[in-house]
Structure 1
Amino acid sequence: MRKALIAYRGVRSQETMGKLFGVSQQTWSAWEVGRATPPAKTMQKIAKMSKQSIETLFPDIFN
Protein backbone atom coordinates (compact mmCIF):
# COMPACT_ATOMS: atom_id res chain seq x y z
CA MET A 1 0.00 0.00 0.00
CA ARG A 2 1.49 3.32 -1.08
CA LYS A 3 0.17 5.54 1.71
CA ALA A 4 1.68 8.82 0.45
CA LEU A 5 0.14 8.28 -2.98
CA ILE A 6 -3.25 7.60 -1.39
CA ALA A 7 -2.86 10.67 0.83
CA TYR A 8 -2.04 12.78 -2.25
CA ARG A 9 -5.31 11.62 -3.86
CA GLY A 10 -7.16 12.80 -0.75
CA VAL A 11 -10.91 13.06 -1.29
CA ARG A 12 -10.60 12.82 -5.07
CA SER A 13 -11.70 9.58 -6.70
CA GLN A 14 -9.29 7.15 -8.33
CA GLU A 15 -11.12 7.86 -11.58
CA THR A 16 -10.40 11.59 -11.22
CA MET A 17 -6.72 10.90 -10.56
CA GLY A 18 -6.55 8.49 -13.46
CA LYS A 19 -7.94 11.11 -15.82
CA LEU A 20 -5.49 13.69 -14.47
CA PHE A 21 -2.57 11.39 -15.32
CA GLY A 22 -4.00 9.81 -18.48
CA VAL A 23 -4.77 6.34 -17.13
CA SER A 24 -7.83 4.34 -16.10
CA GLN A 25 -9.24 4.11 -12.59
CA GLN A 26 -8.02 0.52 -12.48
CA THR A 27 -4.48 1.57 -13.32
CA TRP A 28 -4.46 4.26 -10.63
CA SER A 29 -5.78 1.68 -8.14
CA ALA A 30 -3.01 -0.74 -9.10
CA TRP A 31 -0.45 2.01 -8.48
CA GLU A 32 -1.90 2.72 -5.02
CA VAL A 33 -1.76 -0.90 -3.88
CA GLY A 34 1.60 -1.60 -5.52
CA ARG A 35 0.44 -4.12 -8.13
CA ALA A 36 1.87 -1.84 -10.82
CA THR A 37 4.23 1.10 -11.04
CA PRO A 38 3.86 4.13 -13.29
CA PRO A 39 6.48 4.88 -15.92
CA ALA A 40 9.37 7.05 -14.68
CA LYS A 41 8.05 10.15 -16.45
CA THR A 42 4.64 9.75 -14.79
CA MET A 43 6.24 9.18 -11.39
CA GLN A 44 8.14 12.45 -11.86
CA LYS A 45 4.92 14.26 -12.80
CA ILE A 46 3.09 12.90 -9.74
CA ALA A 47 6.02 13.89 -7.52
CA LYS A 48 6.12 17.41 -8.93
CA MET A 49 2.36 17.94 -8.62
CA SER A 50 2.21 16.47 -5.11
CA LYS A 51 5.37 18.30 -3.99
CA GLN A 52 6.72 15.03 -2.60
CA SER A 53 9.72 12.95 -3.59
CA ILE A 54 9.35 9.89 -5.78
CA GLU A 55 10.94 7.91 -2.94
CA THR A 56 8.19 9.03 -0.56
CA LEU A 57 5.40 8.24 -3.01
CA PHE A 58 6.80 4.87 -4.11
CA PRO A 59 8.83 3.60 -1.14
CA ASP A 60 8.56 -0.04 -2.21
CA ILE A 61 10.47 0.76 -5.40
CA PHE A 62 13.22 2.93 -3.91
CA ASN A 63 13.82 1.53 -0.41
Structure 2
Amino acid sequence: MSRDPELQSSSPERPRPQHGEPRAVQASQLLGGAREIIILHRGERYRLRLTQHDKLILTK
Protein backbone atom coordinates (compact mmCIF):
# COMPACT_ATOMS: atom_id res chain seq x y z
CA MET A 1 0.00 0.00 0.00
CA SER A 2 1.43 3.35 -1.07
CA ARG A 3 1.32 6.14 1.51
CA ASP A 4 1.14 9.82 0.71
CA PRO A 5 4.08 11.53 2.50
CA GLU A 6 1.81 14.50 3.29
CA LEU A 7 -0.35 12.20 5.42
CA GLN A 8 2.44 10.55 7.37
CA SER A 9 2.73 11.59 11.00
CA SER A 10 4.29 10.41 14.22
CA SER A 11 0.94 9.26 15.62
CA PRO A 12 -0.43 5.82 14.73
CA GLU A 13 -3.32 5.56 12.31
CA ARG A 14 -6.73 5.12 13.85
CA PRO A 15 -9.24 2.72 12.30
CA ARG A 16 -11.88 4.38 10.15
CA PRO A 17 -15.41 4.47 11.57
CA GLN A 18 -17.86 1.94 10.17
CA HIS A 19 -20.57 2.62 7.56
CA GLY A 20 -18.71 5.39 5.71
CA GLU A 21 -18.82 7.91 8.55
CA PRO A 22 -16.05 10.50 8.29
CA ARG A 23 -13.33 10.43 10.92
CA ALA A 24 -13.68 13.21 13.52
CA VAL A 25 -10.57 15.13 14.57
CA GLN A 26 -10.39 17.82 17.23
CA ALA A 27 -9.28 21.15 15.77
CA SER A 28 -6.83 21.47 18.67
CA GLN A 29 -5.14 18.26 17.49
CA LEU A 30 -4.72 19.66 13.99
CA LEU A 31 -3.52 23.06 15.15
CA GLY A 32 -1.25 21.73 17.91
CA GLY A 33 -1.40 24.98 19.88
CA ALA A 34 -0.86 27.19 16.82
CA ARG A 35 -3.44 29.63 15.46
CA GLU A 36 -2.70 28.68 11.85
CA ILE A 37 -1.45 25.67 9.88
CA ILE A 38 -0.78 24.87 6.24
CA ILE A 39 -2.48 21.78 4.81
CA LEU A 40 -0.89 20.29 1.69
CA HIS A 41 -3.24 18.57 -0.75
CA ARG A 42 -2.33 17.47 -4.29
CA GLY A 43 0.46 19.99 -4.54
CA GLU A 44 -1.72 22.88 -3.32
CA ARG A 45 -1.37 24.75 -0.04
CA TYR A 46 -4.41 25.51 2.10
CA ARG A 47 -4.32 27.65 5.23
CA LEU A 48 -6.45 26.65 8.23
CA ARG A 49 -6.73 29.57 10.64
CA LEU A 50 -8.36 29.97 14.05
CA THR A 51 -9.83 33.47 14.32
CA GLN A 52 -9.96 35.71 17.38
CA HIS A 53 -13.65 34.77 17.62
CA ASP A 54 -12.75 31.05 17.83
CA LYS A 55 -13.96 30.23 14.31
CA LEU A 56 -12.09 28.17 11.71
CA ILE A 57 -11.37 29.53 8.24
CA LEU A 58 -9.89 27.39 5.44
CA THR A 59 -8.48 29.32 2.46
CA LYS A 60 -6.49 28.37 -0.61
Q: TM-score, normalised by structure 1?
A: 0.28
The structure with the largest alpha-carbon Rg is: 2
**Of Structure 1 and Structure 2, which has the larger fraction of its residues in strand?**
2
Q: More helix per residue: 1 or 2?
A: 1
